[in-house]
Amino acid sequence: MKKLRKVMSFLLAATLLLVNSNSVLAANNQKANDETWEARRAYIEENMIKLGSQGFDNVDEWLQLNGVEKVKLKASSKDKDDVISPMSDPGNISIYSIDGYFDSLAKKYLVKGWWSWNSTSYVDSTTGALEGVALSMSNTDFSPATGYVLASNPAGIAVYDQAGNYYSNTGATSKIDSSGVSYIYQDAWLGTQYRGYKGQAWFWMTTPPTTSSSNPIYLKMHYIHTWTGANLETFGLKWQPGAPPELNMTFSTVPAQWPATNQITIYNWPYN
């Protein structure tokens, strides 16, 4: 009987050791995967920022060559109504190259968009309150997209002047919102260069929203420009039933401001 107990105790200890070893191995593998992704993400974003000074097409070309492919958009003539044009001050600023991507190496998903002033002559001579940017994903009834999972360190923003110089000292910060990300930064005239003339914002996902030809999603970019001073109190995406999501910025006093938006439709996000 004692011998049987010893055997049982030995088997139990061996089982616990195996379970613990497997748990440690799984944790080590997860840590290695996380470290690999962080290195991959840093590499991609470093090149996105660097090439962004030359324009969005240079970034897209580099992404494609490095395994990050752009997803298909709805492209038939009937989809023209799916694109929302800038809602105010047309001609001052453009919102463009809003796209979804799939990184076939890291198995991650990227949402990215750009803004650019069309001329420095349109820019106000004084620095106002903070600028706001938002990227959102919604269903065709304008409800928040579901089923997605954000990656670690998901959000980023790069701000340039009209000469293509990149600025890392804009006070930029981001906020994870329901089905999107909001960003703020400080624009400024620095001599003859306008910091904030153009830029790109993005976020990463490990799982994208479910999409199909009958269940597409909208990717929207929203930009708010201000030109009088005010202290920002809150910012984030605002969702109202039946209406497109909007970037909402609350200030201590209401500054002079206007918004610009644009939107695309994605119907087939590739899966790993």
Using CA atoms, how far apart are residues 196 and 166, in angstroms rounded to an integer? Answer: 9
- pLDDT at residue 257, rounded to an integer: 86
Contact status, residue 196 vs residue 188, Cβ threshold 8 Å? yes
| 69-268 maps to CATH 2.40.50.140 | no
Using CA atoms, how far apart are residues 4 and 9, in angstroms rounded to an integer? Answer: 9
- Per DSSP, helices labelled H in the chain are 2-52, 56-65
Range ranked top by mean pLDDT from 42-46, 70-74, 118-122: 42-46
Q: Is the pLDDT of residue 174 over 80?
A: yes
Banded model confidence at residue 75, pLDDT cuts 50, 70, 90 = very low
What residues does 69 pair with on adjacent strands? 102
% of residues, the chain, pLDDT over 90: 60
Using CA atoms, how far apart are residues 173 and 1, in angstroms rounded to an integer? Answer: 68
Single pTM value for the model:
0.82
Using CA atoms, how far apart are residues 51 and 61, in angstroms rounded to an integer? Answer: 10
199 token code pair: 């830029």
Range ranked top by mean pLDDT from 19-23, 79-83, 131-135: 131-135
**Tokens 């790993």 -> residue:** 272
Banded model confidence at residue 25, pLDDT cuts 50, 70, 90 = very low
